[in-house]
Amino acid sequence: MAVHGPFVKIHPVVLASIVDSYERRNEGASRVIGTLLGTADKHSVEVTNCFSVPHNESEDEVAVDMEFAKNMYELHKKVSPSEVIIGWYATGYDITEHSVLIHEYYSREAPNPIHMTVDTALQSNKMNIRAYVSSQMGVPGKTVGVMFTPLTIKYIYYDTERIGVDLLQRTRASPSRTNGLTTDLAQVASAAGHVQEMLSTMLSYIEDVLSGKVMADNSVGRYLMDLVNKVPKITAEDFESMLNSNINDLLMVTYLANLTQAQIALNEKLVVL
């Protein structure tokens, strides 16, 4: 059940899929729509997947391939049974009259579905992403309308998605607009450097609080106390030994992978000869 809450959590793979479906849209199509999949609880909705749904619309009418949407959802359930329909998306900036009709269909598929709009036209020089939930308004028994209320959006990601997001960030800054994946050792070095920067920021904040330069924040103090309590008690010698052991294992795996790759390439050359 898609029970809406104050927050809508969106994963990067969802946004990438929406942009890809927009880039592959049929000639003459002004926008694309699709189904949002994910999980929901009493406080938030988490969008983890999506798929586009073929549709045609003009000024007078809109036609959506409902059979395609149902078949795609059945296939997704075989792969990810925990993901349910939580709403739908549409590219564009505004909510149109056709959006109300499409939303009525998804209201039959999931209670309180969300509607997400993605401004792929970049009207404000950025891809505005908004989420809404509908509610009826009007006099009972008389003319009843639909009102879309905006929800708060949060962007979250799994650790595996973070690698792709970081790669996209580096690609954006590259003059050639291309970039390659970093090696395992470079990834470890980058993560260690990031942790060191955060520790330096934390120590600087603590020193400023102790010296009276900054007013102490109780919420930050509770986070720091929780962080300190989670640090395992281990001696410097044991930590260094454990770290060196893990690095040696990583180097061994990297060496074996490179050796296997070289062996496969050599076998391919021998087969050709």
CA distance 237 to 234: 8
Q: What is the rounded CA–CA span in Å between residue 77 and residue 85? A: 10
Share of the chain above pLDDT 70, in %: 91
Beta strands in 25-81 (DSSP E): 33-40, 44-53, 55-57, 62-64
Task: Specify the pLDDT at position 230.
Answer: 85
pLDDT at 89 over 90: yes
Mean pLDDT within 43-49 = 88
Segment 49-66 mean pLDDT: 85
Q: Which pLDDT band, with edges at 50, 70 and 90, does 4 fall under?
A: very low
Residues 6+ apart with CB under 8 A from 45: 2, 3, 4, 5, 7, 8, 9, 38, 39, 86, 87, 114
Given this model, what pLDDT does residue 243 score?
81
Residue 74: its pLDDT value, please?
Answer: 92
Whole-model pTM above 0.75? no
- Number of C-alpha atoms within 13 angstroms, CB side, residue 54? 7
pLDDT for 235 beyond 80: yes
Query: Residue 179: what pLDDT?
Result: 67
Per-residue model confidence (pLDDT) at position 241: 87
- Among 35, 40, 51, 33, smallest CA distance to 3 is for 40
Note the pLDDT of residue 49: 92
Q: What is the pLDDT of residue 260?
A: 92
Reply yes or no on whether the pLDDT at 204 is more than 60: yes
Structural domain spans, the chain: 7-159, 182-231, 235-273
The fraction of the chain above a pLDDT of 90, given in percent, is 20
Whose CA is closest to 150, among 122, 127, 117?
117
The two tokens of residue 86 are 């939580």
Average confidence score pLDDT of the chain: 83
pLDDT tens per residue across span 166-198: 777 777 767 776 766 667 677 778 788 888 998
Would you state the pLDDT for residue 250? 82
Cα dihedral sign, 267-268-272-273: negative
Alpha-carbon distance 177 to 168, whole Å? 9
Question: Residues 116-167: pLDDT tens digits?
Answer: 999 887 777 778 888 988 877 766 666 566 778 888 898 888 877 777 777 7
* pLDDT surpasses 50 at 1: no
Q: Which fold has domain 7-159?
A: Cytidine Deaminase; domain 2 (3.40.140)
d(Cα 102, Cα 33) in Å, to the nearest integer?
9
